[in-house]
């Protein structure tokens, strides 16, 4: 009642059974979110290994970027497996409570494989200053997960644009205040490391 526009959008304009769109075709007759979640749980393959990348390589000839690396040895295996990039990511801390932060894992991984492939980062990026920290520690770029999802939920595409604009202006402020005039040249000295 206190958010009439949201209520209208959800219950009147978009009030349909909530499904997971990307697996909708696979879950015939699925209507409740729990139908989809149990299908996903049944399809998680815990036997996956680096060898499975051979299959990916067979069916995809573009660049391969491996997401979810937090450990320098795994990063080296990523290079051996022939990937062109990796994303240092703790998946937003959603899988394991207490997992290390991506930003803490980043420097060791950059030191281990930074010259061999492109290193990106996500997890916990909440501001333009966080972006500058990630770039300073050697990430080529970083990503946001919750930020765009929350913005989209709160105000659609326009709010996602606004969120990106906010990150950009915060990044500019952080660059000015740290004396950085080129993000490509941002290094650990910005963090006094």
Interaction of residue 94 with ligand FMN, rule CB under 6 A: yes
Give the contacts of 116 (CB within 8 A, at least 6 positions apart): 79
123 touching ligand FMN, by CB under 6 A:
yes
CA distance 85 to 78: 8
Compute how many residues bind ligand FMN; rule: CB under 6 A.
13
- In DSSP terms, 85 is beta-bridged to 65, 118
Q: Which CB atom, from 144 or from 151, has the smaller least distance to ligand FMN? A: 144
Name the closest residue to ligand FMN (Cβ).
145
Question: Residue 126's closest CA among 154, 151, 98, 106?
Answer: 151
Q: How far is the CB of 152 from ligand FMN (least distance, A)?
A: 12
Residue 144 binds ligand FMN, judged by CB under 6 A: yes
What are the φ/ψ torsions at residue 121 (nearest 5 degrees)? Answer: -145, 145
Q: Does 162 bind ligand FMN (CB under 6 A)?
A: no
124 binds ligand FMN, rule: CB under 6 A: yes
Radius of gyration over every alpha carbon of the chain, rounded to an integer in angstroms: 20
Whether 18 sits among the annotated catalytic residues: the reply is no
Distance from C-alpha of 134 to C-alpha of 103, rounded to nearest angstrom? 7
Q: Which residues bind ligand FMN (CB under 6 A)?
A: 67, 89, 91-92, 94, 122-125, 144-147
């Amino acid at each position: 009642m206190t958010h009439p526009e949201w209520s209208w959008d959800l219950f009147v304009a978009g009030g349909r059974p909530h499904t997971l769109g990307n697996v909708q075709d696979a879950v015939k007759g699925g209507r409740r979110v729990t139908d989809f979640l149990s299908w996903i749980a049944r399809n998680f393959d815990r036997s996956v290994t680096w060898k499975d990348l051979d299959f990916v390589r067979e069916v995809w000839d573009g660049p391969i970027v491996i997401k979810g690396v937090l450990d320098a040895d795994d990063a080296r295996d990523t290079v051996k497996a022939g990937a062109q990039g990796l994303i240092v990511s703790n998946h937003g801390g959603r899988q394991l409570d207490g997992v290390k932060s991506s930003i803490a894992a980043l420097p060791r991984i950059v030191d281990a494989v930074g010259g061999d492939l492109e290193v990106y980062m996500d997890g916990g990026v909440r501001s333009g200053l966080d972006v500058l920290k990630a770039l300073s520690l050697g990430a080529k770029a970083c990503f946001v997960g919750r930020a765009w999802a929350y913005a989209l939920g709160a105000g659609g595409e326009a709010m996602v644009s606004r969120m990106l604009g906010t990150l950009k202006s915060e990044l500019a402020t952080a660059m000015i205040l740290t004396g950085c005039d080129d993000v490509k040249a941002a290094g650990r000295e910005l963090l006094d490391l």
